[in-house]
Structure 1
Amino acid sequence: MRLQTALLGPIAWAIASNANPALNHRNDIAPSQPEPIVVTELPLPPVAPNTKPGSCTHRTGCLDRTSSVQSGTFLPDGNHVVASANFTGAPASPNPASIYTGVQLILVKTDNTTFPNGDPWKCITCGVLRNHTLGASYPQAFKDGKRILIETDIVSCGEELLSSEKCTPEKVYIHPIRWDNKADGSGPGGTIRELRIHPDNVHIGFNSFGISSGKIDEYGYFGRLRFNPSPKTGTPSAPRYDIVNVTILFDKHASLPFSVNGSNLIFEPDTITVGEFRGFTGSGKEVTYVGSPVESCNIDLFAADLTTGKVRRLTSHPEYTDPIDVSPDDKWQVILDTRGTGRQMFLAGLRGIPPVTDMASVTVTASTRNNGARRFFEPWLLDHDGDRGGYFGQKINAAGDGSPGSISDPNWNAGADPRWSPDGTRIVYFQNLVQAPACGGRNPLPCPNSTEQGGRTSRVMLAHLTSREPIEQQDVETVSDEVPWGTPYTPGDKMPERSYPGAGNYTLTGKKSGSASVSIAYGHNNPSIMTVGATYHNYSDDELSFISGSEKVKSTPVSVTLNRVDWFSDIVSTGKQKGTKKTGPGGFHLEIDTMTNIFNANGTLTTTIDGEVFKQPANGT
């Protein structure tokens, strides 16, 4: 384990503190103070010289230099982290080391000890996979220490602990997870992604894509895991885990934060709008998710009580927030965010604009957070009540000068998901080094050289919260299958559709003063084309800052995943926040694919706040 540095991280960007108190939760609670954090790097298998068979001479395998190592949760003992890694260069069979090839599930020691073979890592699935291809995403350990979920499989060592010497390849089984989506139970089941284990170790949450009005859409789901040793319907017919008693995390009575009452447009920011399911709080009482914006172009995280549906807004910084993990005692959360990079400020920096045009633009604005495989995310520590007032948390890897290879090197970006240790004193996260085509070639950003062993472009980091005392681990009682505010799912049901306001002219009244004149139009015989315009008349939800001017956005799907927006903005903010959000002559026109996230725009969109100017990224960056 290589010590990188210690840090006492700063509170985040002051420019963002022009927040709208009416839209933030618990502004009356004092912010948490920065605390000492020491970041170390966990050991990993060596890098193979190349991918040719036999190039790896290490007895327990070598990693591919450019493939990502994705860390997951801790084992319940807190001394091991689960991860996926891509092995290469193994000698051909019958050499015993031939099993170290392809994507595998590994354990990595976090306590400076080694396994009996002398390595600080252990491959769980090497020699087991045979004809099964293992996914690489979101490895998560169950609390029994005997099972790990990885992508859509559960890896089990029977009655043995995965970390023990007794857990050998012949005892390891890999069982697929299946979600039944047909009334007769036939077929391979529905496509599921981003699975997260509920703290009761019985339930699970996941996301699934679908097509709605010609555009891609996504919904979160909640269900119970049930082992099926002898499936009678569907494939695969081998022993598997079925997800049963499924509920869509969708409130059909209020699918968006906007509703209509005559000619009035009503905005209710506490509406449950699960855009993308992200996990559960440590106690399992709440579900976390990326929700519909509360402020225009501002993508945030929310939590909703699984029983009551009460919503909490966890983040409000104008940058993009996505993965989250809540500490076991619910008192803290670690998030990944672009805050501090300026990536999203040209869109979301001006605070207090209601998310009216977001009905047309949200898919596109959410897709600007990355540049292809390059993520601009860094890990941040927030307390239970999240962003509020001028508090925007503590950057976990803030120490250092950003030099190549340091923990604050901006070319190393965090990947999902950061995870808490069971005792609440450590956080594990992984990083990937930017690679072509997100740098080099035509891209103005030069590609950096890796300082890691063998030129490895992925690493696993461990943040130690050194002033904290370990918390006592508590068992979480099994929760109900029922989510009262959700929509029960029966195999064969169609995906629900979100109810947007109909075409027409509306008035949105500010919570404190002013109003907005809103127009909504759809394409002729094509409801997937949507145009939303708004003219603001001294609009204010906090009576501190006031919004005037106009904005208009037209959204046109080019394909299921590729969207185009034509954007015209001339907004002025006065009062506490002085700023503008303006498009250049001819407007701002952006095409971006939700699956690739390559920025491609014509025209300009610029936000200025108290004299500081935020411009859009250059195309391709």
Structure 2
Amino acid sequence: MLFTIKTTAYAALCGSIAQAALGSYIPPPPSPEPISITQLPLPPVAPSADVGSCSKKVNPEGTGCIANGVFNTFQNGDFLPDGKHVLAQVVFQGAPAAPDPASIFSGMQVIIVKTDGKRFSNGSPWKCITCGVPEKNAVGIDNSQYDYPQAFRDGHRALIGHNMLDCGSHKLTDDACKPNNTHIYPLRWNVAADGFGAGGAIREVRLHPDNVHIEFSSFTFSSGSLGQFSYFARLEFNPSPDKGTPMTPRYDITKVTLLHSSDGPKPIEAANGKLTLNPSAISIGEARGFNGDGSEMTYIGSNIESCNIDVMAINLATGAVRRLTSHPEYVDPMSFSPDNKWMAIMDSRGSGRNMFIAGMRGIPPLVDIVGGILPATSRNNGVRRFFEPYLLDRFGDRGNYFGQKINGDNKGVPGSGAINDPEWNGMADPRWSPDSRQLVYWQTHTVSPACGGSNPLPCYKSKEQGGRDYRMYIATFTNREPTARAPVKEHPDVIHWGTPYVHGSNPPSRSDITSGIYTLKGKASGSAKINITMGTLPTIGTVSVSYDKYSDDGKSYLDGTETVAGSVLRLVNFSFDWYSDIKQSGAVKGTKKTSKGGYHVSVSAMENVLSSTGSLVTTLNGVKWTSPASGT
């Protein structure tokens, strides 16, 4: 189905939001298409963590049992190049003691799962490719996580977490790919001027379609606050390192470009008492991958509308930026199809989760200067996500087109266990088959404390095998014919609009706007008066805005005030004092108002659990969205 928000007024406003696109022509949105959903098999859940609990009675083939839970227990990965297998990270549990052959099925591992209903020679539809790899074949690796497992087109290698798995001359699916001829090599990013010591901390690694380059992100900790930058780099095998740890065969991350320019336009610029918004400015926070032909990188960047966090794409050669999503709900995980015609996103659209803070469209991102972390964290409740998978064409949201929900409609019955049960939520990352005809994705079940106890949401028992709280699906777009991959060239190492990374250098600081009183003119009418007072940590600062018939589209108009003050409580913990009294008129009639005394909230950027007093309510044409209660 095409997703449309609850009110036609919403569509009317969204239709006026400009969408940067590929070239000058934006085609009409695609029609909905039929989708078939099939659950993929997984090893049985272990009865307990006790040694030997995964008996032949539980798994007659002796190919392992998995742990239950919703955190760090499972993640789907890529399709392999044959389109008949997918990778997945699992945690095995309950294995018998050595020397039983099944003793290798223990801890964090990577499996291959067949998608065609067939079985491996071991009798199971899955095969573990990391289990039993000798220590001498995996020296210096990081096996705390094998997240985002990604397959190389040669079928012999996979990127697993911060490591490279290589089965030499054998394909990963072959019986000949055994533990003794499998090697796992660590990745290392040199951050020392002399090349010695441990490598830098990397996260969210994604493989470029050329299978030579990657993007990754890395946190920064400066002046008591958390930040993040993203990078583009080449992977190079180093069989005999002469410096740096680990001193073992490894893949070095080389030719690194910091995807940031201190000299380019900023998202918000101040001069002569006036503010200017630059939606095409390069401002990359967390990188999310690449498009199908590798010419663009996707990322989460600065907001174009207040509190509305979207996925952007930037051309790696030119630095041209385009906005892929514009729905006010939160989007993050996403994947482009190999033919470069489609994208799958995990988005909270349809849940109403962030509408209380982001639902009113056309508000410029001014209070975001100090309060932008709040909508980035309110989108979750602890480990619970509110994501569902959506299909968009490569041009993204536009008009009243917000994609097609992949797993049915938004009318699922809580606790039913159906594919659209709202208590089963999507996770990162959806992944496409090589022929762009199928998509693999996974979900987790809502569990305590996100339900039950003091939380008014009841907990529902999982209907999956063993009460499993995660599951993996394959979506087939049944009317599609297989398509070829978009042509991919090896990308140059140099990103001209970025900054070459210098080993040993400190990450740059993102420049703040100077304290002062400014005016922002609406593109169509009116203005906003802004008072910015930047603080000294732990105080982030305060932004106060007064709107007078402000409009960028000439259809909806803003009047009223909004003030936000932010503070850093402890590195990743923040507090905000929020006061809103905004009225919207014209095509959309609405209000964004805090309760008497304001809305006061503290949140951890890592744990994503809100604690608040007061409320923030957005009402659009009579439809009301209220801020979530503490712990919900």
Same fold (TM over 0.5): yes
Q: What is residue 513 of structure 2 aligned with on the other side?
A: 501
Alignment equivalent of 2:302, drawn from 288, 292, 295? 292
How far, CA to CA, are the matches of 1:339 and 1:366 in structure 2? 14
Q: CA deviation at 1:254?
A: 3.6
Residue deviations 1:99-144, cap 9 Å, x none? 0110111000011111112211100011116486351311111111
- 1:12 is the counterpart of 2:22: no
Q: What is residue 274 of structure 2 aligned with on the other side?
A: 264
Task: Name which of structure 1's ranges 198-207 and 134-143 shifts more when overlaid on structure 2.
Answer: 134-143
Tell whether the 8 Å contact from 1:213 to 1:528 is kept in structure 2 after alignment: no
The within-5 A match list for 1:128-143 is 128=133, 130=135, 133-143=143-153
Q: What is residue 343 of structure 1 aligned with on the other side?
A: 353
Tell whether the 8 Å contact from 1:23 to 1:269 is kept in structure 2 after alignment: no
> What letter matches 2:566 in structure 1?
S
CA 1:129–1:441 in structure 2 vs 1: closer, same or farther (change >3 Å)? farther
- 1:584 is the counterpart of 2:579: no
Tell whether the 8 Å contact from 1:20 to 1:352 is kept in structure 2 after alignment: no
Unaligned runs of 5+ in 2: none
Q: CA deviation at 1:331?
A: 1.1
Q: CA deviation at 1:10?
A: 3.5
Residue deviations 1:485-520, cap 9 Å, x none? 111101111111111210101111111111111111
Q: What is residue 62 of structure 1 aligned with on the other side?
A: 65
The within-5 A match list for 1:170-569 is 170-254=180-264, 256-399=266-409, 401-402=412-413, 404-523=416-535, 525-526=536-537, 528-569=539-580
CA 1:600–1:256 in structure 2 vs 1: closer, same or farther (change >3 Å)? farther
Residue deviations 1:403-423, cap 9 Å, x none? 521100111111100011110
3-state SS in 2 of match to 1:293? coil
- 1:611 is the counterpart of 2:622: yes
Residue deviations 1:207-253, cap 9 Å, x none? 10002343101111100001111111111111110101101111212
> What letter matches 1:471 in structure 2?
T
How far, CA to CA, are the matches of 1:12 and 1:180 in structure 2? 47
Q: CA deviation at 1:526?
A: 4.0
Tell whether the 8 Å contact from 2:537 to 2:568 is kept in structure 1 after alignment: no
Residue deviations 1:524-547, cap 9 Å, x none? x54852111111111111101111
Q: CA deviation at 1:321?
A: 0.6
Alignment equivalent of 2:46, drawn from 45, 48, 60? 48
Task: Name which of structure 1's ranges 12-21 and 249-258 shifts more when overlaid on structure 2.
Answer: 12-21
Unaligned runs of 5+ in 1: 1-8
Q: CA deviation at 1:69?
A: 2.2
Task: Name which of structure 1's ranges 370-379 and 525-534 shifts more when overlaid on structure 2.
Answer: 525-534
Task: Name which of structure 1's ranges 89-98 and 431-440 shifts more when overlaid on structure 2.
Answer: 431-440
Residue deviations 1:563-582, cap 9 Å, x none? 11111111011110110101
> What letter matches 2:423 in structure 1?
N
3-state SS in 1 of match to 2:566? strand
Residue deviations 1:43-96, cap 9 Å, x none? 111111111111112211111122532111100110000001111111000111
Tell whether the 8 Å contact from 2:2 to 2:402 is kept in structure 1 after alignment: no
How far, CA to CA, are the matches of 1:174 and 1:586 in structure 2? 57
Q: What is residue 6 of structure 1 aligned with on the other side?
A: none
Tell whether the 8 Å contact from 2:134 to 2:180 is kept in structure 1 after alignment: no
How far, CA to CA, are the matches of 1:104 and 1:272 in structure 2? 38
Q: What is residue 117 of structure 1 aligned with on the other side?
A: 122
Q: CA deviation at 1:372?
A: 0.5
Q: CA deviation at 1:438?
A: 1.7
How far, CA to CA, are the matches of 1:392 and 1:226 in structure 2? 40
3-state SS in 2 of match to 1:23? coil
How far, CA to CA, are the matches of 1:433 and 1:129 in structure 2? 35
Aligned residues: 612
> What letter matches 1:375 in structure 2?
R
Alignment equivalent of 2:171, drawn from 161, 167, 181? 161
CA 1:85–1:303 in structure 2 vs 1: closer, same or farther (change >3 Å)? same
> What letter matches 1:71 in structure 2?
N
3-state SS in 2 of match to 1:371? coil
Q: CA deviation at 1:165?
A: 1.0
Residue deviations 1:230-281, cap 9 Å, x none? 1111111111101011011112124641012211101111111111110000
How far, CA to CA, are the matches of 1:484 and 1:473 in structure 2? 26
Alignment equivalent of 2:611, drawn from 579, 597, 600? 600
Tell whether the 8 Å contact from 2:166 to 2:184 is kept in structure 1 after alignment: yes
How far, CA to CA, are the matches of 1:450 and 1:543 in structure 2? 49
Q: What is residue 35 of structure 1 aligned with on the other side?
A: 33
How far, CA to CA, are the matches of 2:401 and 2:385 in structure 1? 24
3-state SS in 2 of match to 1:595? coil
3-state SS in 2 of match to 1:417? coil
Q: CA deviation at 1:440?
A: 2.2
Tell whether the 8 Å contact from 1:104 to 1:134 is kept in structure 2 after alignment: no
How far, CA to CA, are the matches of 1:313 and 1:475 in structure 2? 23
How far, CA to CA, are the matches of 1:549 and 1:445 in structure 2? 35
> What letter matches 1:186 in structure 2?
F
How far, CA to CA, are the matches of 2:614 and 2:134 in structure 1? 51
> What letter matches 1:38 in structure 2?
S
Q: CA deviation at 1:11?
A: 2.5
3-state SS in 1 of match to 2:146? coil
CA 1:48–1:115 in structure 2 vs 1: closer, same or farther (change >3 Å)? same
> What letter matches 2:65 in structure 1?
C
> What letter matches 1:61 in structure 2?
G
Residue deviations 1:22-55, cap 9 Å, x none? 4333596311111100110001111111111111
3-state SS in 1 of match to 2:428? strand
3-state SS in 1 of match to 2:227? strand
CA 1:321–1:570 in structure 2 vs 1: closer, same or farther (change >3 Å)? same
How far, CA to CA, are the matches of 1:612 and 1:376 in structure 2? 20
Q: CA deviation at 1:461?
A: 0.6
How far, CA to CA, are the matches of 1:561 and 1:24 in structure 2? 33
Tell whether the 8 Å contact from 2:206 to 2:288 is kept in structure 1 after alignment: yes
Tell whether the 8 Å contact from 1:397 to 1:408 is kept in structure 2 after alignment: yes
How far, CA to CA, are the matches of 1:260 and 1:112 in structure 2? 60
CA 1:475–1:166 in structure 2 vs 1: closer, same or farther (change >3 Å)? farther
How far, CA to CA, are the matches of 2:172 and 2:122 in structure 1? 15
How far, CA to CA, are the matches of 1:273 and 1:20 in structure 2? 25
Residue deviations 1:343-371, cap 9 Å, x none? 00000000000001101111122111111
CA 1:106–1:542 in structure 2 vs 1: closer, same or farther (change >3 Å)? same
How far, CA to CA, are the matches of 2:265 and 2:429 in structure 1? 27
Superposed CA RMSD in Å reads 1.5
Tell whether the 8 Å contact from 1:75 to 1:145 is kept in structure 2 after alignment: yes
> What letter matches 1:23 in structure 2?
A
How far, CA to CA, are the matches of 1:466 and 1:492 in structure 2? 52
Tell whether the 8 Å contact from 1:429 to 1:460 is kept in structure 2 after alignment: yes
Tell whether the 8 Å contact from 1:25 to 1:388 is kept in structure 2 after alignment: no
How far, CA to CA, are the matches of 1:297 and 1:205 in structure 2? 26
Q: CA deviation at 1:473?
A: 3.0
Alignment equivalent of 1:76, drawn from 60, 73, 81? 81
Tell whether the 8 Å contact from 1:12 to 1:394 is kept in structure 2 after alignment: no
How far, CA to CA, are the matches of 1:323 and 1:218 in structure 2? 17
